Structure 1
Amino acid sequence: MERDLRSQSRPARRPRQDPARPGSQDSRRQRLIARAFQHHLLRLFRRSTMLIRNRTHYAVAAALVAALALAGCKKKEEPAPTPPPAAETPAPAPAPAEPAPAPAATASVASVDLGSAIGADKKVTAAATSFKPKDTIYASISTSTSDPAATVPTKLGAKWTFQDGQTVHEEPVADVQATNGGVTAFQINSPKGFPEGKYKVEITQDGNVVQTKEFDVKK
């Protein structure tokens, strides 16, 4: 009977698990905690790296934007470059001034001399201011010119008057080529003789009285 009982199959025995040792459980827990902490640190590191990169990108982008804005401001503020002044065409040299024409020479009556006789040069040879009734009375007129070498055409005349302005004789106007020192002579006489009294001769040039001389006639 015992054999029969022994020969009967026995249920298979399950292997018994060894109860965990307190020391081994603590070490395993520590490893798990360490691994979790490592994973946590790794995630934090990755996040911080991403944040740093993002911040760096933001900073770089901000710097670029600021630089572009500053460059734009400078471009707006900087005035346009002043173009170089155009080369001035030199003014043509003034033409040399032509010498002013010399003023035309003029003639004038320099002196009037009275006398009873004149020479070949028409100058008085016997000067007098008192004459006889039948004397020939001469008026010798000397001319001068502004240019001593010039000959100036002019008109000379003589008018003889008696005391109250009565005209005794008026010479026709003579066209004269006046020179410097030239002489022109006029004369009057009376076959019957001049009445006694005061006389005057007026010398005209170009119609204007320029000289007068007074004289008298007496016996």
Structure 2
Amino acid sequence: MKKVLFSLIFFLLCAIQLSASNELPRGIYYGMVTDSLAQNHYIEIINDSTIKLSSINLHMRFQFEENLKFKFEGRILKIHKSQSDIETLRHYGLQHFSKLNEIIIADKVLLNKEYQVIYIPIKYCEKSNYTTYIIDGKEYLQKNARSNSYGLVKKRHKINRKLKRKLKHIESDLDDYEIKVYKGYNAYLKFGIDKVSGVIELIKKTH
């Protein structure tokens, strides 16, 4: 009897997990692009067949918004665009999205592997708004400055004192370090969602 009950509970847990893994996430996501010529943007999953794509709101610049249709298959959003949609996206500087056809649902984020775009839930943007320095295997966090819609710095944070001391300490030996920079999609793949804003890794060269 206990074995039967245990099997039933195990089956129900698996069914719940499978159902949750196939659930379509809703809400607004901030899209971080890897290509320096492309533009960051927002997408909002409105319902089971429609997403809204919008540009970042900047002063004296028209904020573009466009609704696009998609099909949800497994863990993939397959986006459908007409020729008119493609031309509109290109006109507003979102060429990469005009070619983008699939967005994959990953853990807490959405990904487009082909163009290396990561979409982060808005609630995580403030939480991950810092650059991580990894020097000799130790992490130092530096809060990023905030800009307003004019592109001007709204709030600048003090430099992490421990980071400042460490950089000063190795300043004369910088030629002995290999410097690697990760941001957005690549930072997520290597370090996770909390470090998507950027990681600067300094690794001492071995001779």
Q: TM-score, normalised to structure 2's length?
A: 0.25
Q: Which has the larger radius of gyration?
A: 1
Greater share of strand residues, 1 or 2?
2
Q: TM-score, normalised to structure 1's length?
A: 0.24
